Amino acid sequence: MPNERSSSTTPVRTAVAVLGLGPMGRALAGALLAAGHPVAVWNRTPGRDSEPLALGARSAASAAEAVALAP
C-alpha cells in the first residue's frame, strides 16, 4: 500500500515570544530563530536583546506586546 503522507512537507513556522533574555532565554531565542520561527523578545533590562535582534528577532516594548506578537 502506498504511503499516504505527502512527500513534500513544509515546516510550520510558529511565531514565538521569549520573555527574559538571560543565558537560557538568549539560547532559546537563538535556537528558535535558527529553526526559522519568527521570534519576539522582551527583557526588563534594556539592551539584553541585542544578540537575538542581530539574529532577526523582533523587539517588543513590553511583555504584553511580545505575547500579542506570538499567538
Query: What does the pLDDT read at residue 5?
Result: 54
The model's pLDDT over 13-23, given as tens digits with 9 standing for 90+, comes to: 999 999 999 99
- In terms of DSSP bridges, do strands 39-42 and 58-59 run parallel, antiparallel, or are they unpaired? parallel
Query: How many Å apart are CA 53 and CA 59, to the nearest integer?
Result: 7
Task: Kindly list the structural domains of the chain, giving each domain's residue range(s) and its CATH number in brackets, ordered by start.
Answer: 16-69 (3.40.50.720)
pTM for this one? 0.82
